[in-house]
Amino acid sequence: MKVAVVGATGMVGTIILKVLAERKFPVTELIPVASENSLGKEIAWQGQTYIVQSLENALSQKPDLALFSAGGECSLEWAPKFAAAGTTVIDNSSAWRMKADIKLVVPEINADQLTATDKIIANPNCSTIQMVLALNPLHQLYGLERIIVSTYQSITGTGVKAMKQLENEEVGIQGAMAYPYPIYRNCLPHCDDFTSTGYTKEEMKLVHETRKIIGDKSIGITATAVRVPVMGGHSESINVTFKSDFDMSTVRKTMHESEGLVLQDNTDMCTYPMPKYAEGKDAVFVGRLRRDESFRNTLNMWVVSDNLRKGAATNAIQIAESLLAKKIL
């Protein structure tokens, strides 16, 4: 299979290449694509050297699959061109997620909706992916009524500039700032741009994308997204109210048996999810399960996942694997 990776030299693109190799995705020809600044550079993959190409060159080769991770503007301009050439595009940006005719996919939840006519498929936001993967199995049992989520998001979600800012601040070097304030020994209640309502775009992604993926516009959702000086992954404190009451033993059993989830919930042994230990893994880790004693049918949980893997690269490749399994790619 001829596969183009658009944004191949970026943070997520690098992980995409790594995960393609790890999962033995059937790549017969790789086309790494990046911005003009990276054209002509060499990258090594699977024992071979590849030259980074332009979008025009990649399009002319009509790849079977294009994995986009180069920002929304690039995706809006180029994804339709690749799709028109017969390429299936899986896009990591926010550009296509809320378009009515574009599928927004977490494979464990809604890959069954994919068809051969889906030539542009949206990969959800990283913080959304881990939340819906943890909540959907319980939604099937009890029905989601309301979600209150606070996120503790890794600086890797911002990119290389943020990582460099943290590294500089740790050793007292004054350098370029990815954030309006220091991130070292600090937390910023500010992920993405603020909207006119006072919520950030990141917070509203959790609202709108969750409803679309699960397929229920009636779910009440409110979010607070916070950037923390952490590398390994995103963490979320979730307070969820169900339409019907639940049994804690059934909740734990369901979490333990659900695809893509790892239950880490033994407070006697201080066992709970942490981003330090989620880094480099594809699972979504769930723990601190406990009934909210202040409100009916309500559960608290703590959810952690590597935002560059399941939150981006791995989920995108799992979408492609789903298409292969359905014989539509």
As beta bridge partners, residue 148 has: 222, 239
CB distance 83 to 120 below 8 Å: yes
CA distance 124 to 98: 10
126 is catalytic: yes
Looking up tokens 């309502």 gives 197
Of the candidates 74, 126, 139, 191, the residue annotated as catalytic is: 126
* Number of residues in the chain: 329
Residue 233 φ/ψ, nearest 5 degrees: 170, 180
- E strand or H helix at 42, and its extent? strand 42-45
| 95-118 as b/e: b if 16+ CB within 10 A | bbbeeeebbbbbbbbbbeebeeeb
Cβ burial, residue 19 (10 Å; 0-12/13-18/19+): buried
End-to-end CA distance of the chain: 9
Of 213, 212, 239, 214, nearest to 224 (Cα)? 239
Residue 135 φ/ψ, nearest 5 degrees: -90, -30
234 is catalytic: yes
Residue 134 φ/ψ, nearest 5 degrees: -75, -35
Of the candidates 74, 139, 191, 234, the residue annotated as catalytic is: 234
Of 270, 272, 181, nearest to 235 (Cα)? 272
CA distance 162 to 179: 7
Catalytic residues: 126, 234
